[in-house]
């Protein structure tokens, strides 16, 4: 199954509610690679890569998030390759939490 790389920008009440930690747990469960971070504007950004079906399942989860979150909007952008300076860990390296931006 071909790999898909997707960037998610999740807006709403998504900081201070365990969103990044819950997202990381879901990504590990689905076997995806990538990174996640809080942004200064209050959103959460994630860059994920893996089988298209698993990426789609994670994207659907991101529209709900953990119980204390309120997701207002998720902006998705599928990518053919990583953006400069935003490398996704190589396949099998797992998912990492990055510093806020």
List residues with catalytic annotation: 20, 38
Rg over CA atoms, the chain: 12
Element (H, E) at 10: strand 3-13
What is the spatial distance between Cα 1 and Cα 53, in angstroms, rounded to a whole number?
Answer: 9
List Cβ<8 Å contacts ≥24 apart for 20-25: 20/44, 20/97, 22/65, 22/66, 22/69, 23/58, 23/61, 23/62, 23/65, 24/95, 24/97
């Amino acid at each position: 199954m071909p790999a898909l790389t997707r960037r998610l920008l999740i807006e709403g009440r998504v900081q201070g509610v365990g969103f990044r930690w819950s997202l990381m747990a879901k990504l590990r469960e689905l076997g995806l690679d990538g990174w996640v971070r809080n942004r200064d504007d209050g959103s959460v950004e994630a860059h994920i890569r893996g089988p298209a079906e698993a990426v789609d399942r994670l994207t659907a989860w991101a529209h709900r998030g953990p119980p204390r979150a309120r997701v207002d909007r998720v902006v998705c952008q599928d990518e053919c390759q990583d953006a400069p300076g935003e490398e996704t860990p190589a396949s099998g390296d797992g998912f990492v939490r990055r510093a806020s931006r």
